[in-house]
Each structure stands twice: as C-alpha cells, then as structure tokens.
Amino acid sequence: MAAASTSVRVLPDGGADDEERWLAEGIAGVQQNAFYMHRALDSNNLKDALKYSAQMLSELRTSRLSPHKYYELYMRAFDEMKKLEMFFREETRRGSCSVVDLYELVQHAGNVLPRLYLLCTVGSVYIKSKEAPAKDVLKDLVEMCRGIQHPLRGLFLRSYLSQISRDKLPDIGSEYEGDVENINDAVEFVLQNFIEMNKLWVRMQHQGPAREKEKRGKERNELRDLVGKNLHVLGQIDGVDLDMYKETVLPRILEQVVNCKDDLAQFYLMDCIIQVFPDEYHLQTLETLLSAFPQLQPSVDIKTVLSQLMDRLSNYAASSPELLPEFLQVEAFAKFSNAIGKVIEAQPDMPVVGAITLYVSLLTFTLRVHPDRLDYVDQVLGACVKKLSGKAKLEDSRATKQIVALLSAPLEKYSNIVTALELSNYPRVMDYLDNATTKVMAVVIIQSIMKNTTCISTSDKIEALFDLIKGLIKDMDGAQDDELDEEDFKEEQNSVARLIHMLHNDDPEEMLKILCTVQKHILQGGPKRLTFTVPSLVFSSLKLVRRLQGQDGDVTGEDVPATPKKIFQILHQS
C-alpha cells in the first residue's frame, strides 16, 4: 500500500465508509502477510519471515486512516510482532543466526518504516542477549527513529519502541543495571523519545485544512496517552532520585512543555507531571514547577492543573503531621500565592471566575495545611479583593458561586463564626456579592452559628457580625423586598430573631452593650422587619432585667452600670 501524503488524513467528503473499507483492506493485508510469515517461522525460514513481516508492516505506511482507525491496524501488527520477536530470540538462542548478524540483516528492508519496526524488534532481542550494552542499543534505536517524521506514523513507531524497551532499561535492580552513567543513559533515552513524540503530536494540529482544526484536536486528544506513557516510564525508574529529578528530569520536561506552545499538550503534560511523580518531589521542586505556569498559553486551563497540584500536596501534608515542617521550610504557601499572582498577571484576559477559582483552591490548600495561620487565610481573601477592586458587584453566576465557596470555606473549617470575624478581608469580599447572594451568604452564616451553637459574647463582634448579615437586616441599595416571596422573607427574619436569642454575656455591662448594638442595627430594618426582630430584642432585654432585679434604678449619667431602668429606656426607643 502506498505511503504518500504529508497530511494525517486524506479523506474525501463522506469518507467514513471509505475509511472503513481502507481499514478492512489494511487488516486483510496484515493478516495475509502474517499468515505467510507464520508459515516461514514454522519452517525456520528466516529470509521469508523477514520478507513477509516487512510487507505486513508496510500496511502501517498508510496516510488514509484517522488516528482511531490507525490504532486498530497498529494493534493487529503489534500482536504479530510479538510472535516474530519470540522467533528471533529462539533463533539466536539456538545459534542459527547471531543477534549481531540479525541486527545488520533487518536493516536491508526496502522501506524505512518496516525497517525501523524490525530494528526495534531485533534491538529488544539484542539487549536481552546482553551481547551489547543496553544503553548503546537504545541510543541507536532512538536516533534512527528520527527517520520517520510523519506525525501519526512516527508517534506509533516511537510508542512501539517505548513498549518493547521499558523492561530493558539499565535501571537500579534490573538485570541490565550498570553504573550511574547507565542510569543517566536510561533517563536520556526516555526523555529523547518523549521530546520527539511530543513534537510529532503537536505537529498533527497544524496539518490539514483549517476547517478541520477542532476535529484534529479531538483526534489528538485520543492519542495523548502515547506521549504520556514516557513520563510514566520515567516515574518508574528507581534510579531517578530527587537530585536527578530536580537537576535533569523536571527541567528537561518543562522546557519541552513550555516551548511546544500547544495548549492541549501543555495542559495534558502538566497534569501528567503532577500525577506521575511523587508528592515529595513536587514539594522539593515547587518553585521550578510553578515557574512554568505563567509561561503556558493563555488558553490552557491552568486553574484545574494548579488545583490538582494543591490538592495532592494538601493530601500529602494530611498523611502525616511530621511533614508540616517541610511545607514551612520550602514556604509552600508563599510559592503558591506568588505563582497564582503571576499567572493572573500574565493572563490579563482571564475571566474573573478563573482568578477566583484559583484563590478558592489556594484557600482550601491553606485551610488544610496551615489551619492555624489566620494571616494566610486573610492574605488569600485580600488577594481576591485586590483582583476584584474597581469592579462593580458580580453579575457572573459562576464567579458568584466561587465567591460563596471562598467565604464558606473558613466557616466549614473552623465551625466558628468568631474566627471568620477576625479576618479583616472577609466582609470586603462579601461586598462584591449581589443583593440576593448577600442574603444567601447571611443565611449560611446564621445557620453555621445555630449548627455549632457559637457563643458571640462581645459587642464589637456583634457589630462585625451584623455587618456581614446586613442583607437580612435592612434594605440594600437597589433591593426590592416586595419581589421576595413572603414565606422566604418570614424564614429569613425568623433566622435573625433566633440569632438575637443566642447572643449572651454573663457580664451585665457587656450584655447591655450587645443589646444596644442589636437595637441600632434592627431599627434600620423598617416596620416590616421589626415585627419579627423586636420581640427577640424585648425577650433578651427582659431576661437581663430579671438578672438585675433589686438593683438601684435611679443612677444617672452615660457611663452608668446596666440597670433595669436603662434597659427599659432601650425598649421604649424600639
């Protein structure tokens, strides 16, 4: 079958049926030549075995198939090549043909692609025989594979090379183990194969008509694991210790990721790096890894990858308390915070929801790894305020949802609104919510207090709390309570009333201040709200009166102690 075109696919209109026919023809070609190859193998006819195996492999020279269909054809040939490899191994074991002669012999195959598949197959036997150092054979093969520059055919050829060599790398503990230099050669082999495969994979995007760009993107996505398997192999090489990873492996991978300037490749490979290598390595190379993110294409979904990295490291921190000093030593929080700032700065067109999502992930990381550092939590909220500064209240529902997640996280972590009240940037973030969501968040705050029976016992904390739930206490600018469902309104106001009942301090002086603070706020609510809130204030005031019964009520002046007379004055003003 002819090799020909430089495009990945050559399909005319309505080509799906034609493609099925071409695939069937290719499979038939593989099966027919495999049949004659088997017959030659059974009769120990090496010459014919090589002839028919080369003809079988020539079917992989096609440019007519989509990646998905090409994979089907490749797997048919791959299964047959395993049988050929066993024959080669047996031939060299019996002494019918030396592996060196065999390695030379297959290089006479007429076409480059079949020749290289056969070379890889014999190369596997060559390494197994130990008649030559594994590093020399691998270096030879990875260089010769450069002879195929067609993206699809080259990808599958190098995937085959990776597959047959992965158990023959000169690694620590393997039968092909050598000195430290050999381990470096193993790493270099895998890195070279990875770099060449990624270049071929990226090049696929730029071949063919522009109108099929989206289609090519989907097809490339199906092939991503062929490239990613190289990183999995690197992650499994025992000789890749932290020093080698830090000095060689990670910088080389990141260089390729950044330089390829392809959004699909960058997203997938950054995700691969995070999933494949140990958490300890990520922590110790955090600055190097994070430095790549601002250099990625603007269209890369950075927030998802960064979130996964923070999630992995926070799980790592949670696995053992003894790891916390490591996080402090490498200043993980500062590095993440700095990286997120640089990513947002490098992508001025990033939607607000994207930036807020990054801060939600950073806050989640902070609350899990450094729950005692309220200054870190407030710093994240402050960075979010800085990003939102100069903007009106959020109208994007997705961004609003992320703000609610940002504000809810401290409540869920600390189970204590008092802790949240110590965060100076907490109310500043809330100010960017629309009126409806401000009310929702206020209800969430009250529910948290009720659920955890939180005691808020000082007037200044009450002042801060009522500022957070002001959406329920008074009409907000532009709000139309007439449009609110009557049942919803009653439920909101009843929740405020229940909150007032929970406010308490054993010191009568402080309790009087609390009642004065509550009165000041609820009087701004208008007559519709007062029917719900004033009764709670009255009952709380009367409880304080009962505690003070018998005390002199004729003392005058502003700085007087709490007296029943003064409390009744408050009630009269309400």
Q: How far is CA 81 from CA 54, 462, 568, in A?
A: 11, 77, 96
Cα distance between residue 574 and residue 199, in whole Å:
75
Cα distance between residue 507 and residue 94, in whole Å:
98
Residues ≥6 apart with Cβ < 8 Å to 415: 448, 451, 452, 454
Domain-wise residue ranges, the chain: 18-132, 134-277
pLDDT at 423: 94
Cα distance between residue 195 and residue 188, in whole Å:
10
Cα distance between residue 408 and residue 404, in whole Å:
6
Contact (Cβ atoms closer than 8 angstroms) between residue 435 and residue 454: no
Q: What is the mean pLDDT of the chain?
A: 88
Mean pLDDT of 340-363: 92
Mean pLDDT of 301-307: 93
188 band by pLDDT with thresholds 50, 70 and 90: very high
Which of these ranges, 172-186, 280-294, 437-451, has the smallest mean pLDDT? Answer: 172-186
Cα distance between residue 417 and residue 421, in whole Å:
6
15 band by pLDDT with thresholds 50, 70 and 90: low
pLDDT at 29: 96
Cα distance between residue 530 and residue 524, in whole Å:
9
pLDDT digits (tens, 9 = 90+) for 147-158: 999 999 999 999
Q: Number of helices and strands (H, E) in the chain? A: 30, 0
Q: Give one DSSP letter per residue of 374-435, joined into a string.
A: HHHHHHHHHHHHHHHTT--S---HHHHHHHHHHHHHHHHHHS-HHHHHT-TTHHHHHTTS-H
Residues ≥6 apart with Cβ < 8 Å to 572: none
Q: How far is CA 357 from CA 14, 33, 254, 340, in A?
A: 43, 56, 24, 11
Cα distance between residue 378 and residue 360, in whole Å:
12
List the one residue out of 351, 357, 362, 219 whose CA is nearest residue 298: 351
> Residue 372: is it exposed, middle or buried by C-beta count within 10 angstroms (0-12/13-18/19+)?
exposed
Mean pLDDT of 480-497: 80
pLDDT at 475: 81
pLDDT at 227: 96
pLDDT of 12 over the 70 cut: no
Residue 400: what residue type?
T
pLDDT at 74: 97
DSSP 44: T
pLDDT of 413 over the 50 cut: yes
Mean pLDDT of 56-85: 94
Highest mean pLDDT among 52-56, 166-170, 174-178, 565-569: 52-56
Q: How far is CA 416 from CA 219, 375, 422, in A?
A: 51, 17, 11
Contact (Cβ atoms closer than 8 angstroms) between residue 263 and residue 213: no
Mean pLDDT of 274-284: 97
pLDDT digits (tens, 9 = 90+) for 531-564: 888 888 888 878 888 877 755 544 444 454 666 6
Q: Which residue has the higher pLDDT, 9 or 531?
A: 531
